[in-house]
Amino acid sequence: MTKTVFITGASSGIGQACAELLAKEGYNLLLCARRLNRLEKLKDTLLAAYPTIQIHIFELDVRDAEQVAHQIDGLPSAWKNINILINNAGLSQGLDPIQNGDIGDWDRMIDTNIKGLLYVSKSVIPLMDAGNGAHIVNLGSIAGKEVYPNGNVYCATKHAVDALTKAMRIDLLPQGIKVTSIDPGMVETEFSEVRFHGDREKAKNVYNGVQPLTGKDIAETILFVITRPAHVNINDLLIMPTAQATGTIVNRK
């Protein structure tokens, strides 16, 4: 039977690349983000290319607990059987020493990366077909494995994602729900533009002289992870550009 994948943050970057690859692979897609216009375009493009799949899109700000519960509870009944959840929505804001950090930036990262992931998971888990290939994939980061200068709060949120992935794996074990953390290094998406509050020049410089990962690289990794046999779970997968050894040690040419 065709599996349904729920992807948060499908309007850009890794989430969009997952939608594109999983559509090609024949999955039905539940896609959400704040920018509904982008999701509409993506849906049209994917349905034109892959007319046999089904796609349902909706606007969602994962930071809003009430909205998350309301929107997911209100899904059409045909969409209330979810096989795979990709908790991808997330962001970094600012790259400053902690003493200069902006409280608004901190709140946005904590509310999106930690609380948003929790709100969505709490609403989606009851809709998962436990034991029948049910799988949660959380987007962690190299920033959840180490702390780098000025990464402070973003690194803390991704360390929290790492802890929540481990916690989910324990709590959902009796239900047979697989839980995986995908932890990328540098991926060229809108991530750095968002981190630097729209400063495109600064964002571009992050990838100067280095070949970063692409959203497609991560989508292919996620496809590998969700297609392992029923008795196999990939707990944690750290994936870096070849030219990046740690969060900050990069071989630039």
List the one residue from 83, 88, 180, 181 that touches ligand NDP (CB under 6 A).
88
List the one residue from 47, 65, 69, 91 that touches ligand NDP (CB under 6 A).
91
Q: What is the 3-state secondary structure (H, E, C) of 4-45?
A: EEEEECCCCHHHHHHHHHHHHCCCEEEEEECCHHHHHHHHHH
- Which tokens go with 121? 């998971």
- Which tokens go with 152? 């402070």
Measured between alpha carbons, how far is 93 from 191 in angstroms, rounded to an integer?
Answer: 9
List the one residue from 181, 189, 221, 244 that touches ligand NDP (CB under 6 A).
189
Q: Which residues contact 92 (CB under 8 A, 6 or more apart)?
A: 109, 143, 154, 191, 194, 195
Asked if 82 interacts with ligand 8X3 (CB under 6 A), we say no
Q: CB of residue 17 vs ligand NDP: minimum separation in angstroms?
A: 8
Asked if 138 interacts with ligand 8X3 (CB under 6 A), we say no
Asked if 186 interacts with ligand NDP (CB under 6 A), we say yes
Residue with smaller CB distance to ligand NDP, 54 or 67? 67
Q: CB of residue 248 vs ligand 8X3: minimum separation in angstroms?
A: 8
Asked if 34 interacts with ligand NDP (CB under 6 A), we say yes
Asked if 143 interacts with ligand 8X3 (CB under 6 A), we say yes
Measured between alpha carbons, how far is 32 from 147 in angstroms, rounded to an integer?
Answer: 30
Torsion sign across C-alpha atoms 117, 120, 122, 125: negative
Helix (H, G, I), strand (E, B) or coil at 66: helix
- How many of the other CB atoms lie within 10 Å of CB of 110? 17
CA dihedral defined by 74, 127, 156, 180, rounded to 10 degrees? -150
From the candidates 50, 119, 154, 207, give the one annotated as an active-site residue.
154
Asked if 155 interacts with ligand NDP (CB under 6 A), we say no
List the one residue from 29, 75, 187, 250 that touches ligand NDP (CB under 6 A).
187
Side chain identity, residue 42? L
Q: Enter the DSSP assignment of 143.
A: G
- Residues in contact with ligand NDP, total (CB under 6 A)? 30
The radius of gyration computed from the CA coordinates of the chain, to the nearest angstrom, equals 17
List the one residue from 31, 142, 153, 250 that touches ligand 8X3 (CB under 6 A).
142
Measured between alpha carbons, how far is 173 from 29 in angstroms, rounded to an integer?
Answer: 25
Residue 165 binds which entry of ligand NDP, ligand 8X3, none, CB below 5-8 Å type-dependent: none
Asked if 139 interacts with ligand NDP (CB under 6 A), we say yes
List the one residue from 9, 116, 185, 241 that touches ligand 8X3 (CB under 6 A).
185
Asked if 186 interacts with ligand 8X3 (CB under 6 A), we say yes
- Concerning whether 154 is annotated as a catalytic residue, the answer is yes
Asked if 89 interacts with ligand NDP (CB under 6 A), we say yes
What residue ranges bind ligand 8X3 (CB under 6 A)? Answer: 141-143, 151, 185-186, 247
- What amino acid positions are annotated as catalytic residues? 154
